Copies of this chain bind each other. A is one copy, B any other.
Amino acid sequence: MKLYGYWRSSASYRVRIALNLKQIPYETIPVHLLKAGGEQKTEAYQQLNPARLVPTLVTDDGEHLNQSLAIIEYLDAIAPEPRLIPEDPLTAARVRTLALDMSADLQPITNLRILQYLTGELNQPDETKLRWIQHWVAQAFQAFEQRLGQTAGRYCVGDQVTLADICLVPQVYNAQRFGIDLAPYPRIQQIVAALNVLPAFVDAKPEAQIDANS
């Protein structure tokens, strides 16, 4: 398989973790989100993803898949070991809720294109951008921390790594980049510490990618 992504993209990071957990080998094809106005906006990349976002996974059959959660659900169906979305419908709902808290309600409102719009089109200073990030991260992490009180074991939902963990780690990585204090979120901190020593998570880190710091 081939993964078009960017080292610091949260959505690419999620798919890397999932591929690693399932031990599916893949080739990385970097798409630089900043260089020359953003390689994701080129005509060539739009053929792979009309939404001009990363990642895109190209399967062995040459199919192009977009949207990290759709990709991970696909991987979970074709390579079910280890299972990232539990079979029990209620437990699966708990996992998907946590995953969407991070991937639908936090990441899209604090990602690159939104921040660029705030400082570009809306002409806001960097300080406003930082307050924006802090505000939405705090809202999302507070809710997530509270949910963990009902669901967590060693990881977000019980003692198995799930899609919820895969979605949490990149958002914590981002929060730390922006200097957000994680002290109010002890459960998140503990779970992320346990996840970040697992080889699949270590190998998926932005700094471990071939395009890191490019």
> What residues make up the interface of A, taking CB atoms closer than 8 Å to B?
49-53, 63, 65-67, 69-71, 73-74, 77-78, 89-90, 92-93, 96-97, 99-101, 103-105, 107-109, 114, 117, 121-122, 124, 128, 131-132, 135, 139-140, 142-144, 146-147
Please pick, from B53, B78, B101, B108, the residue contacting A51 in the complex, using a CB distance under 8 A: B101
B50 with A100: CB separation less than 8 A: no
Please pick, from B51, B73, B135, the residue contacting A96 in the complex, using a CB distance under 8 A: B73
Contact A67 B97, CB 8 Å, known A104-B103, A108-B104, A108-B105: yes
Residues of B within 8 A of A65 (CB): 93, 97
A73 with B90: CB separation less than 8 A: no
Instruction: Kindly state the separation between the CA atoms of A103 and B104 in the bound complex, as whole angstroms.
Output: 7
Instruction: Kindly state the separation between the CA atoms of A188 and B96 in the bound complex, as whole angstroms.
Output: 27
B104 with A66: CB separation less than 8 A: no
Within the complex, what minimum Cβ distance (angstroms) separates A162 from chain B?
Answer: 12
Additional 5 contacts, C-beta under 8 A, given A51-B140, A53-B105, A65-B97: A50-B147, A70-B93, A74-B89, A78-B89, A117-B132
Instruction: Kindly state the separation between the CA atoms of A4 and B191 in the bound complex, as whole angstroms.
Output: 31
B142 with A97: CB separation less than 8 A: no
A70 with B50: CB separation less than 8 A: no
In the complex, the 3 A-B pairs of residues with the closest C-beta atoms, listed nearest first: A70-B96, A104-B104, A50-B146
